[in-house]
Amino acid sequence: MNNQTFTMPQKKIYIETYGCQMNVNDTEVIFSIMGREGYERTEDMAQADVILANTCSVRDNAEQRIRGRIEQFAVAKKNRPGTLVGIVGCMAERLKDALLDSGKVDIVAGPDSYRTLPQLVREASEGHPQINVILSREETYGDITPVRIDKNGVSAFISIMRGCNNVCSYCVVPYTRGAERSRDPQTIVREACDVFSRGYREVTLLGQNVDSYLWKGEDGEQVDFASLLEMVASVSPLLRVRFSTSNPQDISDKVLYVMRDHDNICKHIHLPVQSGSNVMLEKMRRRYTREWYLDRVEKIREVLPECGLTTDVIAGFCGETEEDHRETLSLFEQVCFDTAFMFYYSERPGTLAAKKYADDVPVEEKTRRLNEIIALQGKCSLKSYTADIGKTFRVLVEGPSKKNPEELCGRASNNKMCVFPDSRHRAGDYVDVRVVSATSATLLCQLVQPSGEATT
């Protein structure tokens, strides 16, 4: 007998991720689930036994991009017979069987069905296309340790909840992700401890509406978002905590005070406004007014004077008049966000707005309005970034800057990207920098010596 052992070549899985940070984290969950099944991650599609696209449905152009990719996957499949192609995530949930009709897709799996992926893959490899788009009221993948796919090993995403119970009339997310459910806080803290012990120095707690996080324990004990933030912040003073997304309706003063009281909770709030017009906000079924929003901003700035503030906005929603649009511009002018994600309205089939309102702002008009918002925000960003010149920030180093390998980059607490010449520090280090100049997206800085002097 010879003692030689033969190992089976490991099967490989390739995943492309589209959409929000939660999808990125879901991809990490999928790698973990498939890893247990013996699948190794590859970044080379041509070598993959399983190709997955983790998809987004939030706007039509997100879906169009994926349709294009399905054609590309079909080519890869032809070149390597036996390769399986799967569409997972929000578009899988929205389109269901229709995705199988093309004959180019072997697996369709919605966001709550990832535990069944190994089985779906096994059965699909026998030539039977598989689908699982059942949404769950309980699934949080709380016990699964995601396989991190970030490039820097410094900053990790942790999903604290899934789904969404709001019904913003334009939004497809409640249909693709199902009802809101919160994850057991102990599993969240454990995951934060785990990433910290592996060298990570920042976690971002993710949810569609983090302020409605609520865990009810068996003993009647309740943990809300403010308490969860405190628990995660207590893991280590060296672990930074960020979170996204805050809903203007639900963000509480308690959360602001917890942020103020913990140095390691970053002073940045992403607070999507969507529109500056009360008429639009009501049609959008956002549960706040322009006045409420501005009042929240005022409170944030009172409690957290150095807090970064960013937003999302939709131009050209159903029935939006020039006056409504002007209200959005004036709110942008008034608040002066650091950055904004700006979109024009894209009707999503099945949503309340699609059923109730005509998508009646012509695309040229939507584009013009969007461009006006973008131009104004460009000025506000520059103003906001320039206002930081002369300030000193503690930065968590993420690695070399993209443009110049002799410079490092990292974020200040307020989430602004800082770049600075430095060869001594590494990803994961904390350094103090002084801002010497700014663009509308970057703070150009110099290291501060312990004495407080900026180095040249």
Contacts of 411 (CB under 8 A, 6+ apart): 266, 395, 396, 398, 417, 418
- By the rule CB under 6 A, 171 interacts with ligand SF4: yes
- Asked if residue 245 has a cis previous peptide bond (ω within 30° of 0), the answer is yes
Q: Measure the CA–CA gap between 339 and 325, rounded to whole angstroms.
A: 19
Coil, strand, or helix at residue 170?
Answer: coil
Token pair, residue 120, equals: 């779906």
Binding test (CB under 6 A) with ligand F3S, winner from 19, 178, 248, 316: 19
Tell me how far, at minimum, the Cβ of 169 lies from ligand SF4, in Å: 9
Binding partner of 318, given ligand F3S, ligand SF4, ligand SAH, none, CB within 5-8 angstroms per partner class:
none
Tell me how far, at minimum, the Cβ of 140 lies from ligand SF4, in Å: 17
- Location of structure tokens 């939660």: 22
Choices 10-18, 85-93, 171-179, 337-345; region in contact with ligand SF4 by CB under 6 A: 171-179
Which one-letter amino acid corresponds to residue 236? S
Binding partner of 314, given ligand F3S, ligand SAH, ligand SF4, none, CB within 5-8 angstroms per partner class:
ligand SAH
Tell me how far, at minimum, the Cβ of 170 lies from ligand SF4, in Å: 7
Binding test (CB under 6 A) with ligand SF4, winner from 89, 110, 142, 174: 174
Helix (H) or strand (E) holding 182, with range, is strand 181-182
Q: How many residues does the chain have?
A: 456
Q: Which residue has the CB atom at the shortest distance from ligand F3S?
A: 19
Tell me how far, at minimum, the Cβ of 352 lies from ligand SF4, in Å: 10
Q: Which is it for strands 339-344 and 308-315: parallel, antiparallel or unpaired? A: parallel
Residues 343-372 vs ligand SAH: string with x where CB under 6 A?
A: x-xx-x------------------------
Choices 54-62, 95-103, 183-191, 210-218; region in contact with ligand F3S by CB under 6 A: 54-62
Q: Which of residues 243-262 bind ligand SF4 (CB under 6 A)?
A: 247
Q: What are the φ and ψ backbone dihedral angles of 411, each rounded to 5 degrees? A: -100, 145
86 or 316: CB nearest ligand SF4 = 316
Binding test (CB under 6 A) with ligand F3S, winner from 113, 155, 176, 311: 176
Tell me how far, at minimum, the Cβ of 9 lies from ligand SF4, in Å: 42
Helix (H) or strand (E) holding 108, with range, is strand 107-109
Q: Which of residues 179-208 bind ligand SF4 (CB under 6 A)?
A: 208
- By the rule CB under 6 A, 312 interacts with ligand SAH: yes
248 or 428: CB nearest ligand SF4 = 248
Tell me how far, at minimum, the Cβ of 436 lies from ligand SAH, in Å: 34
Residues 56-95 vs ligand F3S: string with x where CB under 6 A?
A: xxx------------------------------xx-----
Q: Is 293 exposed, middle or buried (0-12, 13-18, 19+ CB in 10 A)?
A: buried
235 or 273: CB nearest ligand SAH = 273
Residues 213-252 vs ligand SAH: string with x where CB under 6 A?
A: --------------------------------x-x-----
Binding test (CB under 6 A) with ligand SAH, winner from 59, 77, 94, 366: 59
Q: In what order do the strands lie in the sheet with 240-244?
A: 155-159, 202-206, 240-244
The CA-based angle 407-408-414, given to 5 degrees, is: 130
Helix (H) or strand (E) holding 430, with range, is strand 430-438
List, in sequence order, every residue forming a beta bridge with 432; answer none if it has no partner: 394
Token pair, residue 299, equals: 């409170």
Q: Measure the CA–CA gap between 238 and 232, rounded to whole angstroms.
A: 11
Q: Measure the CA–CA gap between 341 and 232, rounded to whole angstroms.
A: 27
- By the rule CB under 6 A, 272 interacts with ligand SAH: yes
Distances (CA, A) of 440 to 145, 273, 347, 368, 385: 37, 21, 31, 21, 6
Q: Are 107 and 130 in contact (CB under 8 A)?
A: yes
Size of the site for ligand F3S (CB under 6 A): 13
170 or 420: CB nearest ligand F3S = 170
Tell me how far, at minimum, the Cβ of 157 lies from ligand F3S, in Å: 12
At CB < 8 A and 24+ separation, what contacts does 140-143 make?
A: 140/181, 140/182, 140/183, 140/184, 140/187, 141/26, 141/29, 141/114, 141/115, 142/183, 142/184, 142/187, 142/188, 143/187
Tell me how far, at minimum, the Cβ of 272 lies from ligand SF4, in Å: 7
Binding site for ligand F3S (CB under 6 A): 19-20, 22-23, 56-58, 89-90, 172-173, 176-177
Binding site for ligand SAH (CB under 6 A): 58-59, 170-171, 173, 208-209, 245, 247, 272, 274, 312, 314, 343, 345-346, 348
Binding site for ligand SF4 (CB under 6 A): 164, 166, 168, 171, 173-174, 208-209, 247
